[in-house]
Each structure stands twice: as structure tokens, then as C-alpha cells.
Structure 1
Amino acid sequence: MNVSDLRGILAYIPQFREKVFVIAIDGAIVACENFSNIVLDLAVLRSVSIKVVLVHGIAHQLKQLSILLNTQLSNTTGIGVTDQKTYELSLMASSNVTFQILEALSTSDLRACATNAIVAHPFGIVGGIDYQLTGRIKKIDVSFIEYLLQKNIIPVIGPIGYDGEGKSYRINSDSVAQFVAESLQAEKLIYLTPYPGILNGEGKLIRELDVSSALEFHKTFSKDMAEPIRSKLEHAIHACKNGVNRVHILDGRMDEALLSEIFSNSGVGTMIYANQYESIRQARRKDIGSILKLIQEPIEADEILPRKGTDIARDLPFYYVFERDNQIVGCIAVYPYPKTSQAELACLSVAKNYENQGIGRKLIRFAEKLSSEQGFKQLFLLSTRAYLYFMQKGGFKEADPSILPLERKLKYEKNGRRSKVLYKSLNG
């Protein structure tokens, strides 16, 4: 790890300290070679006072047992019918995986406890089908889990629920993780899977989706998705709609994936987030340093005019920043010219590792909406190198410098940059 990596991690620690992370580990990940590294990552999380709750699956182990014992399973995920034999093997698999996790945690001196915190009832008869020993979650024993967390004990929760009358039921682990995260009002729910995350129609990893986009994606592509990853997307959406800020789906076979996802801006998997995850707000004096850092490279590339901290401080009421995960990753300025009913879009910049994620377009739309609400009829900008972006992505058109307000035209002629003048009519 280099110094910049460490600084990046340190920036997140105040934000996550004493917050609850629910980490759902597929049975296949517990069985993979990288699991010992995941345990070391969990030790790092605990060392910076992040409260960890582990939920594990058993589908992989259940399949292995069925092969070993030459037994046919009624289902492996806890979603379909669970017959008596599948139920018995589920108890065996869950016990084995729980023990394996407890054993691994002890090697990093992490105290943990297997729990019976899931209160469940029979799933019942649905559509004429008796689901037998499949369960549905009634509630989570929150006080029990919180007590363990207060004592610095990691709760380990398997996909088995208990009804309080000496009966237990097989439950889907994705559902368990979702319910636990919602009940504890967790900061994050993280699914460690044998998949890289959510892939688009071209097979490329989708880095992030807000809840509405995730719903639309599910509606369009759910039939083409593998059942395990579809299940995680569905539970991620549900969790975000019920108070969990962020849900991450990532490849648990990848070394350092967990830490990279949590402590970096871009991550390595897919993040589903609630709407409060990102926002555009007016810049504050304390943001000036971040704005200067954002615009340094575009200034050096002669894409925008040089600006000093004093320049930004003077014009601060006209500056806005784009925040994601409490990090400033974009900025824009909107200068008003009331006499001509025009506004100028300026100083648009997005952090390098956030490019091609639509942030620039969101800032442009924000500038359009703001200008329209303030009664301006036209938005214009000056560009030397990024004019094609504004024309293709923002719908701007090229114009003659004569459209500029007089005071702006004088500055344009004085600086000699010969920027292209672009404009866009506003509907207001």
C-alpha cells in the first residue's frame, strides 16, 4: 500500500466509524481460497471501529453434500420448497459454514458468536404449493445483535430462522442480509459473491445505479441475469428503499475487493444507492481547495481559464459542487447577466476517476434548470477544446461572439483565446 492509498482510507474513517456494515458472504466465497484474505479485511474494518455483522449462505456447501450423499435437493437457495431431506442437509451445511467462519475469525483474534437472531414462520402454502420447511422472516432480534456489537463481538448469522417453539426453517441468505441491514439501519450492505457485480447488456460492469435506475434495469434485463445475481439486485433495491444508504455487490474471489470497494472513490463492484448518495449544492468557502484541485488539470490543458483561490472566493455565490459519498467530485459556475436575460456556464470540471459517469451532463442540466428558474432565457458558454462535448451531450449550438453580453464580449476579445461561443435557449 502506498501513501496515497492510506490517505484515501483515512478520509473515509470518520464517516464510517461506529457505523454498521452487514456483510453477506456466499457459501462459495467461504469455500474459496480468498476467504482467508477477506477475514484479514474484516480485521481492518474492526480496527477502525466499523461494526461488522456477517450473514452467510450455504448453496455451494449444500450442493456438495448432496453429491457426497447422493441425495436430490428440492432447492438450494431457500426460495423454493424445502423438503425434509433438504432441510436436514441445510442444517448440516449451515452448521459447517458457521464453524468455518468462527474458526477463521479466531485466527485474526476476532471475537464472534453464532446467533439465532432470525425469528421465522413457515412460508406456508402459496398458489396451492406447500413450501414445507422453507421459512419467511417475521422479525430480527435487533437488541441481541446490538448487544453483541456493543461488546465488540461479530454476530454470525446463517440462513436458518427459528420460531420460538423449537422449530427452525431454511431461509434465503440474501433475504436474511437485507432484513438484518434494514433492521439495524446499517450504513452498508455488502454482498460478496462469485460474480463481478451487475453487468450491462454488453457484459460490462455497471459501477453504480441509483434505486430508480436499478429498478428500470431489473425490469429490462432480469430475464437475462443469473438467478443468484438477480436475487441480490432485487434485495439491494428493497434495502435501499427501506433506509440502507448503499448496497454493494462485488466479487469476493478478488483479493482486497472488500477494502477497495469501501475505501476508494470508484470501487471494484456495483453499488446500488439511495437518492441521498449524490447531490449538487452551492459551494462554501471550505470547498475552495477542492475546487482548485478539480480545475488544476483542465487549466494546465488550456480547457478553462486559470483561476486562483481569491478569484473563486470573490465569485463563490456563483459556484456549485457535485458531491458523491460526501466527496466533491465535480464543480460548475453559473454567472448571471440580468440585463440581457442570459447566464453563463463556466468552470465545469469533473474528477478524473469520475469521468464518463454522466456527472458532467447532470451539472449542465442543473445549470439549465437554475438559470431557467431565475428567469434567464439563454445559457451560453465559451470553450476552446471541449466544445464538441457540449454540443453532442448538452445540445448547445455554435454562435457568433456578437450574442455575448457587452461586458463578457469585452473580456472575450481581451483574453485572445478565440474560444468557440456556444448557446442554448431555455424554456422557462
Structure 2
Amino acid sequence: MNLSHLRGILTYVPEFRDKTFVIALDGAVIAHENFSHVVLDLAVLRSLNIRVVVVHGIGWQLTQAAKQSHFTPSNIDGTGVTDRPTLELAIQVANHVTHQILEALTSCDLRACYANAITAYPYGILRGVDQEFTGKVEKVDVSFLRDLLSHQIIPVLPPLGFDGEGKTFRVNSDGVALAVAEALGATKIIFLCSYAGIERSGRLIRQLPVTEAESWLKKDRPTLEPHLRSKLEHAVRACRRGVSRVHIVDGRVNEALLTEVFSREGTGTMIYADEYESIRPANKKDVRVILDLIRESMEVEELAYRSREDVANRITDYYVFELDRTVVGCVALHSYPETGQGEIACLHVARGHENKGLGRKLVSFAENVARSRGLRQVFALSTQAYTFFQQKMGFREETPQILPESRRKRYEESGRKSKILVKDLTG
């Protein structure tokens, strides 16, 4: 990891410190040679005071064990019928995999333990078929898990649960990850699996709003692979239950976990809750509202002067942040397709709503719009907010030569001597 990567990580530290991440490991990732690197990535997260809970699957290991025993399991992933022989084999495999994870974490000087924190009850009879020893999560022992986390201990949870009488049930690991994340109020669920993320028409989808994910599930559900459908379904439920970000990442790729968490581009697919629903394109009725919002900042020269005509003529470039039907922030994205660049401009948050992350959301939204337009780079010109762009949003300072010719001319004519901040959207 080079110096620029380290700087990138450090910009996220204040945002993620003391937050909880649920890391859901597919069995195939644990069996892969890159698993030792995944454990090192977990050590990095812990070193930054991020609380980590590990939930693991056993599908790959259960399949291998069944082949060696010349045995046909009734179910692999904990979503179908689990008969007694399959349950017994699943318990053996789960215990082995849990122990393997504990060994790996200990080798990196991380304290961890097996956490019997899942209360489960029988799935029951589904469409006339008794699911036998397949269970669903009834309750998560939150106080137990929080006590472990407060003592810097990583809880490791297998895809098993127990009822009040001590009976064991096979549960789906994606469901365990969802239940644990919801109970703990986790910031993220990160599914580390054996594929790159969610692809459509051969293209990896980097970011997916939960509303689009829901629509996709309704329309294309029958055509989705079962493992992908499970991840997508649980991601949607997580976002609807308070988990703001769910990531689907290829755990076989070195440093994929860190890249996904500590870069804007990531490596896999991020499904996010609709916090951006509050951000909408501006319309002609918003011209006066925007001018009223930014007037004071223009008077003290925090923002360059814009006339009513200026804003009206480029209103399609503007976006506003609305809370309770009141506009409390704005941003503009001016595109320069000839150079593959976009300018993030007129960023402003109303007094009384500052220091709540709205500025970050507006800039991130503008970056996403720029990516959707195929732009490779964004820049911002600032006389007083340049530290925000550098320290919070990962921009770097550049010379005027980086600007498109038409924008450079206006920059030189303005005499404001703004700092030029640039951020690449690719790579």
C-alpha cells in the first residue's frame, strides 16, 4: 500500500471510528488463498477503531465434505430442508470453519471468540413441506455482542442457531449477517464472496440505490443466480432496516475489502439506502430559493457572484438538498465533455444545518452524476472551503493548466485566485 492509499484511508477515519461493520464471509472465500490477506484487512479495520463482527458461511466446505463422504446433503445454504444427517455434517463443518477463522485472526494478534449469540426457531412447514432442522433467526444477543466489542474482541458467528431447549438449527449466513447488523445498528454489511459484485449486461454495477435494487428483484428475480439473489434480497432488507450501506465484494482479490471501504470508486457493488432521495434536480421555481440561500456567502466572497440570470440559464446543472420540503443546501455540476471533466460549484449548506454531513452528501451526489455522464475527473474552485475538499472529499490541489481552456480563461479573468482542487473518478 503506497502513501496515497494511506492518505485516502485517513480521510475516512473520522467517519468510521467506533462504527460497527458486519463482515459476512462466504465459505469459498475462507477456502481461497487470499483469505490470509482478508484477515490482514480486518486487522487494519480494527487498528482504526472500527468494530468488526464476522459472520461466516459453510456452503463450499459442506459441499466438499459431502463429496468426501459420498453423501448427498438435503440442503447446502440453509434455505431449504435440513434433515438430521445434513445438520450433523453442517455442525462439524461449521465448528471446523469457525476454528479456522479464530486461528487466522489470532495469527494477526486479534482477539476473537466464537459467539453463541443467535436464538433460532424452526422454519416450520413451507408449502406443505416440513423444513425440519432449518431455522430462522428469532433474536440476537445484543448485550453479549456489545460486551465483546467493548473489550476489543471480534465475535465470530457461524450459520447455526439454538432454541430455548438447546436444539441446533441450520440458518442462512446472509440472514444472520442481516439480523446482527440490524440489532447492533451497524453502519455497513460487507459480503465477501467469490464474484465481483452485481453485473448487468456484462457490466459491473458500482453503486445501486435500494429502490433500483428492489425494482430489479421484482422484474428479474427468476433470472438471477440463487447466491446473487440472496445477497441482493438481504441487502435491500438491510437498507430498509437502517443499515446505510451494503457492499458485495470479491473476497478473492487482494486488498479488495480495504479498497471498497476506503475509496469512492470501490471494487464491488454498493447498495445504499436512499439518503440521496432528499437531493433532487433543481427547477425554475428554485432559482429564487437558491439565490436566497447563497446570498450571504456571495456577499462575503465565499462563493463567486451569480446573478439570477446566471442561475436560471444553467438551472439544469443545479441540485438541491431538501428537508421537510425546505431547501437547505445546493450544488452544481457543470460538464466539460470535451475534456472529460466536471466542475463542482456553488456548494452551500444553510446555517443551522452545517456539520451534519450534508456537504459531503451533496459532493458525493455530484460525483456520482459525473460518473453517470462518463466524466473522468471533477474539479472545484474555492477560496475558503478548500480544506473541506482536500481533507473530507479526497481532492488534491492542482495548477490552472488542469482546467478546460474556456474555464481557465474565466478563472484568470475573475482575479479571485481560488485554489484549484481536483479528483479523479477512475482508477
Q: Same fold (TM over 0.5)?
A: yes
Trace 1:197-216 onto structure 2 (pairs within 5 A): 197-200=197-200, 202-216=201-215
Looking at structure 1, the residues matched to 10 and 349 of structure 2 have their Cα atoms a distance apart, in angstroms, of 28
Do the aligned partners of 1:303 and 1:384 also contact (CA within 8 Å) in 2? Answer: no
3-state SS of the aligned residue for 2:73?
coil
5+ residue gaps, structure 1:
318-322, 332-349, 361-382, 387-410, 416-428
Find the counterpart in structure 2 of residue 170 from structure 1: 170
Q: Could you say which residue in structure 2 is the equivalent of 1:272?
A: 271
The question of whether the paired residues in 2 share the 8 Å contact of 1:277 and 1:324 is answered with: no
Q: Give CA-to-partner distance per residue, 1:37-87, whole Å, 9 cap, x none.
A: 000000000000000000000000000010011111101000000001100
Matched residues, number: 334
Q: How does 1:232-381 map to 2 (within 5 A)?
A: 232-276=231-275, 280=279, 326=360, 329=363, 351=367, 355-357=370-372
In the alignment, the residues of structure 2 paired with residue 300 and residue 330 of structure 1 have an alpha-carbon distance, to the nearest angstrom, of 23
**In structure 2, do the counterparts of structure 1 residues 330 and 95 end up closer, same or farther at CA, with 3 Å as the change threshold?**
closer
Counterparts of residues 63-212 of structure 1 (less than 5 Å)? 63-200=63-200, 202-212=201-211
Would you say the 8 A contact 1:245–1:277 is kept in 2? no
CA distance in 2 between partners of 1:306 and 1:56 (Å): 41
Q: Tell me the distance in 2 between the aligned counterparts of 1:211 and 1:302.
A: 28
2:335 touches 2:343 (CA, 8 Å); kept in 1?
no
Q: What one-letter code is carried by the residue in structure 1 that aligns with 2:360?
A: N
- The alignment's C-alpha RMSD in Å is 3.7
Q: Distance between the aligned counterparts of 1:61 and 1:70, measured in 2?
A: 14
Gap change, CA 1:262 and 1:60, over 3 Å in 2: same
Task: Give ranges in structure 2 of 5+ residues lacking alignment.
Answer: 281-292, 304-331, 351-356, 376-403, 415-427
Give identity over the alignment, percent: 48
Computing the radius of gyration over CA atoms, which structure comes out larger, 1 or 2?
Answer: 1
- Whole-angstrom distance in 1 between the partners of 2:196 and 2:79: 23
Q: Distance in 1 between matches of 2:208 and 2:154?
A: 30
C-alpha displacement of 1:151: 0.4
Per-residue deviation, 1:252: 0.5
Q: Quote the residue 1:422 is aligned against.
A: none
Whether the aligned pair in 2 keeps the contact of 1:299 and 1:306 (CA below 8 Å) is no
The residue correspondences of 1:10-89 to structure 2 (distance < 5 A) are: 10-89=10-89
Cα distance in 1 for partners of 2:165, 2:334 equals 66
Q: 1:86 to 1:359 in 2, by over 3 A?
A: same
Partner of 1:401: none
What amino acid maps onto 2:223 in structure 1?
Answer: D
Q: 1:393-413 CA deviation, whole Å, 9 max, x = no partner?
A: xxxxxxxxxxxxxxxxxx9xx
Q: CA deviation at 1:222?
A: 2.1
Give the distance between the partners of 1:237 and 1:305, measured in 2 at CA.
33
Q: Which residue of 2 aligns with 1:371?
A: none
Deviations 1:176-200 (A, max 9, x none): 0011101111000010000111111
- Does the aligned pair in 1 maintain the 2:134–2:171 contact within 8 Å? yes
Shift of residue 296, structure 1, vs aligned partner: 11
Summarize the Cα distance change of 1:227–1:384 in structure 2 as closer, same or farther, 3 Å threshold: same
Counterpart-to-counterpart distance in 2, 1:316 and 1:191: 34
Whether the 8 Å contact between 1:246 and 1:272 is mirrored in structure 2 is yes
Verify the 8 A CA contact 1:279 1:324 in the aligned structure 2.
no
Post-superposition CA distance 1:186-217 (Å, at most 9, x none): 000010000111111x1211111111111011
SS in structure 2 of the partner of residue 138 of structure 1: strand
- Structure 1 residues 287 and 31: alpha-carbon distance in aligned structure 2, compared to 1, 3 A threshold: farther
**TM-score, reference length from structure 2:** 0.70
Displacement after TM superposition at 1:328 (Å):
5.2
Q: Report if the CA contact (8 A) 1:278-1:324 is conserved.
A: no
Aligned mates of 1:287, 1:179 — CA distance in 2: 50
- C-alpha offsets along residues 115-161 of structure 1, whole Å, 9 cap, x if unaligned? 11000111111221100000111110001000000000000000000
**In 2 relative to 1, CA 235–113 (structure 1 residues): closer, same or farther, beyond 3 Å?**
same
**Is contact 1:17-1:49 (8 Å) kept?**
yes
For 1:240 and 1:305, how far apart are their aligned partners in 2? 31
